[in-house]
Amino acid sequence: MQAKEAIRLLICSESQHEAETVTSLLRNAGHPTRAHLVQDLDTLKAKLNDQVWDVCLCYMEMSNLSGKDVLNEIQRQGKDIPTIYFHDEVDSIAAEKSLKAGAVDLVPSGEYNHILQVVLREIKNLKMRRELREAEALLREAEKRCQVLLESAQDAIAYIQDGMHLFANDAYASIFGYDDADDLLTIPLMDMVYSKDQGRFKIFLKDFNSGKSRSAEFQCKMLNIAGKEVDSRMLFARATYDDEPCIQVMIRANTGSAELESKLKQISSQDLLTGLFNKQYFNEQLADAVDQAVISGSHGAIAYVNIDRFGQCKGDVGIEGADLVVCDIGHLIRSKCREEDLVARIGEDVFGILLHDSKAEQAQGFAEHIRKAIEEHLVAVDQRTIQVTSSIGVALINESSRSPKEVLQHAHEASYYVRKIDGHEKGNGVYLYNPAQLANTDSERLEAKIQDAIKNNTLKLLFQPVINLRDEAGEHYETLLRLIDKDETDISPQDFLADINSDLKRKLDRWVILNTSKRLAQQRAKGHDTRLFINLTNDSLTDESLIPWLQKLLQASKLPSHAMIFQFTEADAINHLKQAQTMTQALNKLGCKVAISRFGSAIDPYKLFEHIHSDFVKVDGSFTQELNTEKGMDSLKELLAGIGEHEKASIVPFVENANIVAQLWTSGVSFIQGFYLSGPSTQMDYEFNDE
Directed axis angle between helix 404-417 and helix 435-456, to 10°? 60
Give the SS3 label for residue 305. strand
Mean pLDDT of 407-423: 90
Q: How far apart are CA 592 and CA 586, in angstroms?
A: 9
Q: How far apart are CA 89 and CA 101, in angstroms?
A: 18
Mean pLDDT of the chain: 89
Domains of the chain: 7-133 (3.40.50.2300), 153-264 (3.30.450.20), 273-433 (3.30.70.270), 444-685 (3.20.20.450)
On whether the pTM is more than 0.75, the answer is no
The end-to-end CA distance of the chain, in Å, is 22
Phi/psi at 483 (5° precision): -95, 135
**Whole-number pLDDT of residue 685:** 93
> With 50 as the cut, is the pLDDT of residue 682 above it?
yes
> With 70 as the cut, is the pLDDT of residue 266 above it?
no
User: With 0-12 CB in 10 A as exposed, 13-18 as middle and 19+ as buried, what is 568?
Assistant: buried
> With 90 as the cut, is the pLDDT of residue 346 above it?
yes
> With 50 as the cut, is the pLDDT of residue 1 above it?
no
Q: Please report which confidence band the pLDDT of residue 545 belongs to, taking 50, 70 and 90 as the band edges.
A: very high
Q: How far apart are CA 143 and CA 138, in angstroms?
A: 9
Q: Are 416 and 469 in contact (CB under 8 A)?
A: no
Q: Which of 373, 388, 265 has the alpha carbon at shortest distance from 316? A: 388
Taking only the tens place, the pLDDT of each residue in 51-73 is: 899 999 998 878 889 889 999 99
Quote the radius of gyration of the chain (alpha carbons, Å): 33
**What residue type is assigned to position 203 of the chain?**
I
> With 70 as the cut, is the pLDDT of residue 415 above it?
yes
Q: Please report which confidence band the pLDDT of residue 396 belongs to, taking 50, 70 and 90 as the band edges.
A: very high
Max CA distance (Å), the chain:
102
Taking only the tens place, the pLDDT of each residue in 74-92 is: 999 999 999 999 888 888 9
> With 80 as the cut, is the pLDDT of residue 236 above it?
yes
